[in-house]
A and B are shown apart, each in its own frame.
Chain A
């Protein structure tokens, strides 16, 4: 294994992140604060408790997921798209590295950044609501798996994308709606029965439900199902990336 290559890629990617640290830090803090002001305080004060929780607390897990998923995808896709776009990908393709090493470097860095943002949001949320975390280990595990799997999805998008528009379109048209409709801001039990069923086809539902369980020990869906879903999703993405490198799809002529 070329561990040096993984480390080189990881460090290179993280350096980019640290250069724009303030920006990386401030924008999620501001947007999360806005969510709390609008949903938690302004609107939330008119909403009754959800599942026995204040609305402000209820939305914390979903809010973290929302940002983490967006961040993971955008970091994961940009990290590999940029070298493709400017042409420096030649070096990656001609280096003695296999696909797992490339993925470990890029996706590892993207996931680290997303994790960092997730923790920043968690810290910001703690300013607005009283938070107690029922299952801290499970919470971290869910957070990590989410960072990882969506960075992988981002990585795939970055390889697939032929231009900046395509790079934006999947997150914008598919992922963001799935996250908003994934129960970030409501409980599934609040939906009419038919929508409760339809919602089950949305993979993000399992994530948010599981994550909420880690916080509050209560969830829309069984925790094992959530765990199974996120693991399966990660494996699926990894399999697809393996196929990409085996066939050279969109990478090698």
Chain B
């Protein structure tokens, strides 16, 4: 491992998840932030950098900081969709490395289940060339990618269903998961079609929920009485905004963000013990595994077959039950980080992957548009 140890994750927490009627997005973020700081053994007055992403305010950072009573000296509300929080981790490491701050609080909150929200139609700008055709977004965009992948490589709906089934098995081991009834491949194939070839059970949940992650400098980390989870590598990229502008529907920019993260960490794919990979849809996972280089382009279907990613399989993935079965409040990326940290600390309970030392966390945002990869490791 060549990576220099600059920053560690020392606190993680979820807010209430699932359905949280009566709660707003600030409450959920405050709840998660308080728990994550307690987990770290830090107080909110020690927070000097604040990161959040959302479209619930004109300037989310301003509203959140005021609500929490935090006056940061560094702020970042980068919003590239669901992968924002992996990007925030990367940005936090860069800021800590530059000596700009030492304690970064990253939060997210959403009430997309109980309060979907309605607003006037905004000026569409470049989306005006897609919106008139009625593609349901994001699912329709992922369906276009899945259809192309099937055409190009012969990938099957059964192979995509393997991912949904394996992920549900992990959810049965997580009492916080929203959907815990076991499912079989036939259940996925028999669930109704949303946008061909994707069925209902190829799609993530829509829940409420929030989360928080605390990233600190090596100096601060060394005085905390915590199992330290080091950020060994990170990378980010985005290749397009609207789906018709994706250069290749079968290859995401995980190729670039993953390569950067692996190079920085100085490790190889074989050394990864657990993978937490954004699963907005089953096809998201399959494309990501290929783009990250866990298998060759076109081999994703074979890679996930035989319940390889399920509990007991040789590629433990999405160990909390994922966006497909645990929770998915719109921008899921922060929950990938929370689960990876818990696994590396050995706090996974019934779903603990034995002796997990290195984790790959990968967020995907928009319509396969943005990707951010983080590699985490324990001492």
A binds B: no
